[in-house]
Amino acid sequence: ETGVTQTPRHLVMGMTNKKSLKCEQHLGHNAMYWYKQSAKKPLELMFVYNFKEQTENNSVPSRFSPECPNSSHLFLHLHTLQPEDSALYLCASSQDPGGDGANVLTFGAGSRLTVL
């Protein structure tokens, strides 16, 4: 257990479905992140929230919609996805997204998404 919990761990959905991924952190961190991890590719940063405010959106398609109701919870709403969106979606949190210092990321175990 890392202190960052993601549900569900596995999700299979059709291209017309709507589903959501959930992330919860129990570390008292101020920043939360969504990353996409595809096989043999670098981690792709999708969204960053700092104190519940979205501070980054890395040109992510609108079929991915994040929501951060408070500093401990983060959602990724999925709608009309494409097969190429199949990947591992990782949530992470950190104390402070900017500035000096290590600002180590703590990751959840991920949600494995398969789009049929």
Partner 1 sequence: GQNIDQPTEMTATEGAIVQINCTYQTSGFNGLFWYQQHAGEAPTFLSYNVLDGLEEKGRFSSFLSRSKGYSYLLLKELQMKDSASYLCAVRDSNYQLIWGAGTKLIIKP
Q: Which of 11, 13, 45, 60 binds partner 1 (CB under 8 A)?
A: 45
Q: Is 40 in the site for partner 1 (CB under 8 A)?
A: yes
Q: Which of 16, 41, 62, 70 binds partner 1 (CB under 8 A)?
A: 41
Q: Is 2 in the site for partner 1 (CB under 8 A)?
A: yes
Name residue 61's amino acid.
P
Q: Which residues lie closer than 8 Å to 52 by C-beta, 6 or more apart?
A: 68, 69, 70, 71
Q: Is 102 in the site for partner 1 (CB under 8 A)?
A: yes
- Which residues here bind partner 1, judged by CB under 8 A? 2, 4, 40-43, 45, 90, 97-100, 102, 104-110
